[in-house]
Amino acid sequence: MAEAITEARQAQYIELIQELMICPNGQEPEVLDAQPDLIDAGFVQTLVQVSSMMAHENNPDGARFLIYIARELAKQLGLYPEKPNDDQ
């Protein structure tokens, strides 16, 4: 299903994550919009991996931030569609 992520691509993902971590609050969309070619399933996967590392390194705020971004991007990319609420 998913193609292998090259080392160069992985490095680009990490660089973009670092930019997200240091950008002023609220400017994340601009940071992401500046590199639309990097916004894909591989980037979402890398966000989750980095957030997991942060959680293990006692950085829960950073981990939560990256998981939030990963969730939002996954929704936008249609990686997991919203489930309709059946109990209405």
Domain ranges of the chain: 7-77
pLDDT digits (tens, 9 = 90+) for 3-42: 578 999 999 999 999 999 999 999 999 999 999 999 999 9
Residue 86 has pLDDT above 60, yes or no: no
- pLDDT on residue 80: 75
28 vs 21: CA distance, rounded Å: 9
Structure tokens of 44? 């979402």
- Look at residue 48 and tell me whether its pLDDT is greater than 90: yes
Helices (H), 1-88: 7-22, 28-33, 41-56, 60-77
% of the chain residues with pLDDT over 90: 83
Q: Give the span between the Cα atoms of 88 and 75, in whole angstroms.
A: 22
pTM of the predicted structure, to 2 decimals: 0.84
